[in-house]
Amino acid sequence: MINIEKELFELQDKKYRDFQIKLIPNIDIDKVIGVRTPELRALAKRVVKERDYSNFLNELPHKYFEENQLHAFILSNFNNYDECIIHINDFLPYVDNWATCDQMSPKVFKKNHNELIEQIKNWISSKNTYTIRFGIGMLMQHYLDEDFKKDYLEIVANIKSNEYYVNMMRAWYFATSLAKQYESTIIYLENKKLDVWTHNKTIQKAIESYRISIDKKDYLKSLKMK
């Protein structure tokens, strides 16, 4: 049986920890070990390959940031959709930072879009900041290409939140949608359907994107709200 905590501390890089804590300011420094992401991903793959994860996944809440990261990476490697969803829903209430939220991306979701969309709607309707953020992120990742529907834009537009990490993800979603589904998305900015902060942040992120033409960027600049 793999001793997760022991393995994590053997991978500790204190200089990296000092850098990392600046990126996740809401996490207590005593809860950050300092393990680089590639090493966490490699450990997650080994844990999944050996199917030595049941006890660890059920030990919630975890003490360390890296345990949460490892948890997210383990779930990202699951091949069984139903099992993955059960564990995702158990874990989401304990996700307490943007990094763990955004780096949790189960590969099994790609083949289960019909079922996944209902889960996404449930996550977005949550009152938990990072559950909502995760739902928006999954909608952005999986439903802006061939499975895109205009109704999905409305779901994100209708989210009402004062949470920075929710609205930043909303802006990221709309900026990505401008790059992939411009005609359907630009209406939300032209008609001022978003709150001022998310509206302007969407434009900022879209202007920074290499996937949007200069002409469109110039037009987007003209739509900024005061």
How far is the C-alpha of 119 from the C-alpha of 131, rounded, in Å?
11
pLDDT surpassing 80 at residue 1: no
Q: What are phi and psi of 87, to 5 degrees?
A: -70, -35
**1-10, 167-176, 200-209: least confidently modelled range:** 1-10
Sketch the domain layout of the chain as residue ranges.
1-111, 136-226
How far is the C-alpha of 177 from the C-alpha of 173, rounded, in Å?
6
For residue 49, how many other CB atoms are within 10 A of its CB?
9
pTM value? 0.95
Predicted local distance difference test score (pLDDT) of residue 75: 97
Task: For residue range 17-30, list pLDDT tens digits in order.
Answer: 999 999 999 999 99
Helix 37-49 and helix 65-76, axial crossing angle in degrees, nearest 10: 50
Respond yes or no on whether the N-terminal peptide bond of residue 38 is cis (omega within 30° of 0).
no
- What does the pLDDT average to over 216-226? 96
For residue 12, how many other CB atoms are within 10 A of its CB?
15
Residues 185, 174 contacting (CB under 8 angstroms):
yes
Q: Is the dihedral of CA 55, 58, 63, 65 positive or negative?
A: positive
